[in-house]
Structure formats: structure tokens, C-alpha cells
């Protein structure tokens, strides 16, 4: 997890690995963990917090990654899930799902963009062509926004906004 975390750190997407429990799981366990019992998920992040007098005093993240995937796919999925951790830690909780998943896919893009393998090209092409409203369309909207304002402005935007900016 540390090499993947270092990649994100370079872009200002910092996560505290001491608060993250990472587990490789099989398809059955992933399906059990999924909110909709999906057997199509490669990764999942769950968040727990403790509060005292309405203030969060501790946070714990559980990241589940599907066992048996090729290393690049596994790492790309881990990056996506670590972006969920970052969002849980820095952004409003009830975000537009397209903003959330698009941002997480963009983090995967950041990880994959310098990898010149056929596998990376394949993953990036699938992300670009994904018809899903949240994962695909959200990713394309985030890319458009970041191309205009930059990565740091995107991260600052995420810290205080639940919806896409107008025009995206």
C-alpha cells in the first residue's frame, strides 16, 4: 500500500495508513460486503467513526480489494479506494455520487497515466468509454474540470462542495 500511497501523496492526496485496514477478499466476501450484494465490485471502502458530543474523535477505514487481480488492476483499484478514504476524511459526507466516483476514477487515472503497458491503456480506455453515470460520466466531468483549474484547485473544491460546479 505504501508505494500506491506515495503516488497519491505527490498530488496532495494524503491518507494516513495507520487508520486504514486493508483486506484482500474473494468474490463471495466482496458480495457480502457490498451494499447491493454486487458481485461485480473489485474494491470497497467502509468508514467508521466515534463521536463525543457530536465531534468526531476517531476514524477508521476498511478497504477491501478483490483477491486474484493482476497487480496493475489491483493497484489501480486500491488508488480508487484510497481516494474514497481521502474524501471521507476531507470532503462533505453526502456528495453527488458522480462527483465522488468520478474523483476516485481520476485518482486511478493519475496512478495509471505514466504506465505505458497495454493493461494500463486498456484500463484507461475503459474508464474513458464507461457509460455509467457515476463512474464514467463523473470521471469525464472531473477530467474536464481539472483540465481547466488544475489538481490542487480540484482538491480544494472537494473539501467544501457536495456537487459539481456549474457547467460541469
Domain ranges of the chain: 2-158
112-39-87 Cα angle (round to 5): 50
For residues 101-125, b (16+ Cβ closer than 10 Å) or e, as one string? Answer: bbbbbbbbbbbbeeeeeeebeebbe
pLDDT in tens, 60-101: 999 999 999 999 999 999 999 999 999 999 999 899 999 999
pLDDT in tens, 7-58: 999 999 999 889 999 999 999 999 999 887 666 789 999 999 898 998 888 8
pLDDT value of residue 57: 86
- The structure's pTM equals 0.94
Amino acid at each position: 500500500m505504501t508505494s500506491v500511497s506515495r503516488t497519491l501523496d505527490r498530488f496532495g492526496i494524503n491518507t494516513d495508513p495507520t487508520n486504514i485496514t486493508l483486506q484482500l477478499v474473494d468474490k463471495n466476501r466482496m458480495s457480502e460486503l457490498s451494499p447491493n450484494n454486487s458481485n461485480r465490485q473489485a474494491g470497497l471502502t467502509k468508514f467508521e467513526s466515534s463521536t463525543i458530543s457530536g465531534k468526531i474523535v476517531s476514524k477508521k477505514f476498511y478497504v477491501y480489494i478483490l483477491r486474484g487481480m493482476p497487480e496493475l488492476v489491483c493497484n489501480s483499484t486500491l488508488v480508487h479506494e484510497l481516494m474514497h478514504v481521502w474524501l471521507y476524511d476531507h470532503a462533505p459526507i453526502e456528495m453527488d455520487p458522480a462527483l465522488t466516483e468520478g474523483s476516485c476514477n481520476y485518482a486511478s487515472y493519475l496512478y495509471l497515466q505514466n504506465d505505458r503497458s497495454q493493461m494500463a491503456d486498456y484500463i484507461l480506455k475503459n474508464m474513458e468509454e464507461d457509460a455509467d453515470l457515476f463512474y464514467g460520466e463523473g470521471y469525464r466531468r472531473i477530467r474536464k474540470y481539472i483540465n481547466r483549474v488544475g489538481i490542487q484547485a480540484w482538491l480544494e473544491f472537494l473539501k467544501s462542495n457536495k456537487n459539481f460546479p456549474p457547467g460541469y
